[in-house]
C-alpha cells in the first residue's frame, strides 16, 4: 500500500478543502440546500448519524469515498472479518467481531463454550449457589485489571447501571496506587467478595500486584489458601500464570491472542458486565455490536456509519490540521465513554510508522477527549466557541430518558435541547458589531449521533461503531491499529527505576533528572 499523500485523491482533497477555509465560507449557508440533511445523514436501526454540520459538500464527500477506495478500504474490511493477520507487527488476526457473531455467522465453538461457562458462573453467583469460604453468598465483585481489561467493562457497567439485576455491587480496581485497592476494600467483607482478575497476559504489573494484595487481604480472614478458589476467578490467555497465582482451574476463563485488549469487553473480560446485568442482557450487548458489524461489512461506503465517521476524522486531521477530537455524550450514564475511547482510539492510532516501516508524513491519531454534557458546557465549551483551536465534536444523545424521578422527561428534554443548541451555536456563532469580545465566529463542525434509547443492544452498536471508525482511520492512514509497542518501553523502564528506589546500589546510569528524583524519593524520611 502506498503513502496516502501520494494519491491523486489526496491532492484533489487538498484543493477541495480550500472551499471551507475561505473567509466568506459559512457552514450555516450550506443549509440553503433543502436536501442537505437528507444527503448527509444516515441511520442504522435506532442510531441516526447526522453529519450535515460538517465541512462536506457532495464533491468533497465523493472524493473522500474515492480516497478510501484508493486505500483499499473494502478489501481491508473483508480482511478484518475473514481473520486475516491484520495485526502485521505481531502476526495476528483481530477477530473481536467473532466474539459477538452467532455460530452460523462467523462465531466459533470456543467462543460459545466460553459464553456458556460465563452463564454458569453468573447463574451460580446470582442464585447464591456460589458460596464464599464461610458459606455466605457473594455480594460484591471486584474486577482487577487495567487498560482494556478495565476501561471497557467499567464503562459498560456504569452505562448500563439501570439494567443491573441489583444482586451485586461492582467495583473496579486498576491503578497500582495503593489508594485504589485499599479504599475499595475498606468497606468490603472478604467472606462475600469475589475477585475477577482480568488480564490477557497475566504479566501486567499493576494487575499482578493488586491481585496479590487482594489475595493477602482475603487470607487475613479466610481459614486457608483453599479459600482462594471460592473468591478468585481469572480471565487470561496465560492459564499457567493464573494457576501459579492460585486460581482454580475451574475458575479460569479463556482469552485469545486474536482479541486485542482494548477490543476485549465482548469476551470473558466482560464477566463483570454479565454479573451486573445478567447473561441475557450481555448477549443483547453482543447482538447490538454484531448488528453494527454486519452494517460495516455490507453497507456501501457512502452510507456506512463507521466509514463516514472515520473519513471525517481523516479529513479534519489531514486537511484542517485538527489535533484533537471531542466526544460529548449528553448522558451522565456515558460519563466514562471519553476515557474508554481514549484507549480505543489513541492506543490504536498513536503510530508514526506505517505498515511499510516508513515514517508517516501525515497527521495520524488525534487526542480524543470529552466529558458529559451539560457539565462540559460549563467547563471547556468556551474554548469550542471562541478559542483558536480547530476541534471537531461528536455529540451523542438518547431520545428516551433514563431518569425515574418526577419530571424526568421534562428534564431530559432540557438535556436534549442543550445538546442541539450547542451544535447549532458552534455552527452559526453570533456576530457583534459593538463588542468584539462577544463575537462568536461559528463555522465549527460537529456530528450528532441520536439514538432512541440507552440499552444494552444500542450501547453494543455504539461501541462497535467507534471500534470500526478507528479501523477505517488506520486503513486510510496505512498504520497498524492493533499493536502498542510504545507502551512497552515505559513498562520496562519502570522496573529498573523501581529497583533503584528500593536499592541504590542497583541505580543504573540514569540521566541527572531521573537520578535526582530517585534520590529524593529514597532519602525522604519514612
Choosing from 60, 174, 184, 207, the residue that interacts with ligand F6P (CB under 6 A) is 207
Q: How far is the CB of 238 from ligand F6P (least distance, A)?
A: 8
Q: Binding segment for ligand F6P among 101-109, 183-191, 201-209, 333-341 (CB under 6 A)?
A: 201-209
Q: Which of 169, 107, 109, 113 is nearest to 139 (CA)?
A: 169
Check residue 199 for interaction with ligand F6P (CB under 6 A): yes
- Residue 128 CB neighbours (<10 A): 11
CB–CB of 333/456 below 8 Å?
Answer: no
Q: Which is nearer to ligand F6P, 150 or 158 (CB)?
A: 150
Question: In the range 258-297, which residues lie near ligand F6P by CB under 6 A?
Answer: 261-262
Q: How far is the CB of 246 from ligand F6P (least distance, A)?
A: 18
Question: In the range 297-356, which residues lie near ligand F6P by CB under 6 A?
Answer: 347
C-alpha cell at 45: 436501526
CB–CB of 349/474 below 8 Å?
Answer: yes
**Of the residues 63, 347, 366, 467, which is catalytic?**
347
| Integer Cα distance of 288 and 123 in angstroms | 23
378 as an active site residue: the answer is yes
491 as an active site residue: the answer is yes
Please tell me the total number of residues recorded for the chain in this structure. Answer: 526
Supply φ then ψ for residue 87, to 5 degrees: -95, 80
Residue number of the CB atom closest to ligand F6P: 261
109 as an active site residue: the answer is no
Q: Which is nearer to ligand F6P, 201 or 332 (CB)?
A: 201
CB–CB of 364/357 below 8 Å?
Answer: no
Question: In the range 389-418, which residues lie near ligand F6P by CB under 6 A?
Answer: none
* Contact characters 347-366, ligand F6P, x per CB under 6 A: x-------------------
Residue 423's Cβ-side half-sphere holds a number of Cα atoms within 13 Å equal to: 26
The SS3 assignment for 182 reads: helix
Q: How far is the CB of 202 from ligand F6P (least distance, A)?
A: 7
DSSP element (H, E) containing 349: helix 348-349
Q: Binding segment for ligand F6P among 40-48, 196-204, 421-429, 500-508 (CB under 6 A)?
A: 196-204
Cell numbers 461501541 label which residue?
Answer: 463
| Integer Cα distance of 124 and 147 in angstroms | 28
Radius of gyration of the chain (CA): 25
C-alpha cell at 14: 487538498
Q: Binding segment for ligand F6P among 181-189, 198-206, 329-337, 507-515 (CB under 6 A)?
A: 198-206
Q: How far is the CB of 203 from ligand F6P (least distance, A)?
A: 7
Q: Which is nearer to ligand F6P, 288 or 481 (CB)?
A: 481
- Residue 249 CB neighbours (<10 A): 9
**Of the residues 5, 430, 453, 491, which is catalytic?**
491
Question: In the range 111-150, which residues lie near ligand F6P by CB under 6 A?
Answer: 146-149
| Integer Cα distance of 482 and 260 in angstroms | 7
DSSP element (H, E) containing 510: none
* Contact characters 4-43, ligand F6P, x per CB under 6 A: ----------------------------------------
> Which residues partner with 48 through β-bridges?
43, 450
| Integer Cα distance of 344 and 70 in angstroms | 25
* Contact characters 94-113, ligand F6P, x per CB under 6 A: --------------------
Q: How far is the CB of 2 from ligand F6P (least distance, A)?
A: 29
Q: How far is the CB of 490 from ligand F6P (least distance, A)?
A: 9
**Of the residues 22, 109, 357, 378, which is catalytic?**
378
Q: Which is nearer to ligand F6P, 111 or 211 (CB)?
A: 211
Q: Binding segment for ligand F6P among 164-172, 195-203, 239-247, 317-325 (CB under 6 A)?
A: 195-203
> Which residues partner with 173 through β-bridges?
144
CB–CB of 207/213 below 8 Å?
Answer: no
| Integer Cα distance of 279 and 300 in angstroms | 33
CB–CB of 321/443 below 8 Å?
Answer: no
Choosing from 14, 15, 124, 487, the residue that interacts with ligand F6P (CB under 6 A) is 487
User: Which residue ranges make up the site for ligand F6P (CB under 6 A)?
Assistant: 146-149, 199-201, 204, 207, 261-262, 347, 484, 487
Point out the residues that are catalytic: 347, 378, 491
Amino acid at each position: 500500500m502506498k503513502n496516502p499523500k501520494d494519491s491523486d485523491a489526496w491532492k484533489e482533497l487538498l484543493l477541495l478543502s480550500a472551499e471551507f477555509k475561505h473567509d466568506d465560507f459559512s457552514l450555516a449557508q450550506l443549509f440553503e440546500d433543502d436536501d442537505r440533511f437528507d444527503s448527509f445523514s444516515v441511520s442504522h436501526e435506532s442510531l441516526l448519524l447526522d453529519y450535515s454540520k460538517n465541512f462536506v459538500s457532495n464533491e468533497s464527500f465523493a472524493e473522500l469515498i474515492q480516497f478510501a477506495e484508493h486505500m483499499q478500504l473494502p478489501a481491508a474490511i473483508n480482511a478484518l472479518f475473514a481473520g486475516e493477520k491484520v495485526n502485521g507487527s505481531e502476526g495476528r488476526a483481530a477477530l473481536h467481531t467473532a466474539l459477538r457473531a452467532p455460530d452460523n455467522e462467523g462465531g466459533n465453538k470456543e467462543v460459545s463454550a466460553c459464553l456458556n461457562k460465563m452463564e454458569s458462573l453468573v447463574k451460580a453467583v446470582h442464585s447464591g449457589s456460589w458460596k464464599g469460604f464461610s458459606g455466605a453468598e457473594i455480594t460484591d465483585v471486584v474486577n482487577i485489571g487495567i487498560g482494556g481489561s478495565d476501561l471497557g467493562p467499567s464503562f459498560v457497567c456504569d452505562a448500563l447501571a439501570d439494567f443491573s439485576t441489583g444482586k451485586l455491587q461492582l467495583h473496579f480496581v486498576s491503578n497500582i496506587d495503593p489508594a485504589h485497592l485499599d479504599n475499595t476494600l475498606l468497606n468490603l467483607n472478604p467472606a462475600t467478595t469475589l475477585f475477577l482478575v482480568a488480564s490477557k497476559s497475566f504479566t501486567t504489573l499493576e494487575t499482578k500486584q493488586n491481585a496479590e494484595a487482594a489475595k493477602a487481604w482475603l487470607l487475613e480472614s479466610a481459614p486457608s489458601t483453599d479459600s482462594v478458589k471460592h473468591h478468585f476467578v481469572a480471565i487470561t490467555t496465560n492459564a499457567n500464570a493464573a494457576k501459579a497465582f492460585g486460581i482454580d482451574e475451574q475458575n479460569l476463563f479463556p482469552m485469545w491472542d486474536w482479541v486485542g485488549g482494548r477490543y476485549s469487553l465482548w469476551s470473558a473480560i466482560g464477566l463483570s458486565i454479565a454479573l451486573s446485568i445478567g447473561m441475557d442482557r450481555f448477549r443483547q450487548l453482543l447482538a447490538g455490536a454484531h448488528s453494527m458489524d454486519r452494517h460495516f461489512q455490507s453497507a456501501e461506503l457512502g452510507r456506512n456509519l463507521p466509514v463516514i465517521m472515520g473519513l471525517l476524522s481523516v479529513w479534519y486531521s489531514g486537511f484542517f490540521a485538527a489535533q484533537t477530537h471531542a466526544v460529548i455524550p449528553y448522558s451522565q450514564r456515558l460519563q466514562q465513554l471519553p476515557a474508554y475511547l481514549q484507549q480505543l482510539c489513541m492506543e490504536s492510532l498513536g503510530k508514526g510508522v506505517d505498515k511499510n516501516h516508513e515514517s508517516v508524513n501525515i497527521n495520524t491519531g488525534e487526542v480524543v477527549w470529552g466529558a458529559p454534557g451539560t457539565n462540559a458546557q460549563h467547563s471547556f465549551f468556551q474554548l469550542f466557541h471562541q478559542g483558536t483551536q480547530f476541534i471537531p465534536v461528536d455529540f451523542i444523545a438518547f431520545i428516551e430518558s433514563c431518569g425515574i424521578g418526577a419530571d424526568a422527561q421534562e428534564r431530559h428534554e432540557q438535556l436534549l435541547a442543550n445538546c442541539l443548541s450547542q451544535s447549532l451555536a458552534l455552527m452559526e456563532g453570533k456576530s457583534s458589531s459593538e463588542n468584539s469580545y462577544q463575537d462568536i465566529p461559528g463555522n465549527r463542525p460537529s456530528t450528532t449521533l441520536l439514538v432512541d434509547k440507552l440499552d444494552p443492544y444500542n450501547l453494543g452498536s455504539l461501541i462497535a461503531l467507534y471500534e470500526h471508525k478507528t479501523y477505517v482511520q488506520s486503513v486510510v492512514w496505512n498504520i497498524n491499529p492493533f499493536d502498542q509497542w510504545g507502551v512497552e518501553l515505559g513498562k520496562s523502564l519502570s522496573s529498573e527505576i523501581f529497583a533503584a528506589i528500593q536499592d541504590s546500589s542497583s541505580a543504573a546510569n540514569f540521566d541527572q533528572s531521573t537520578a535526582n528524583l530517585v534520590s529524593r524519593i529514597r532519602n525522604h524520611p519514612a
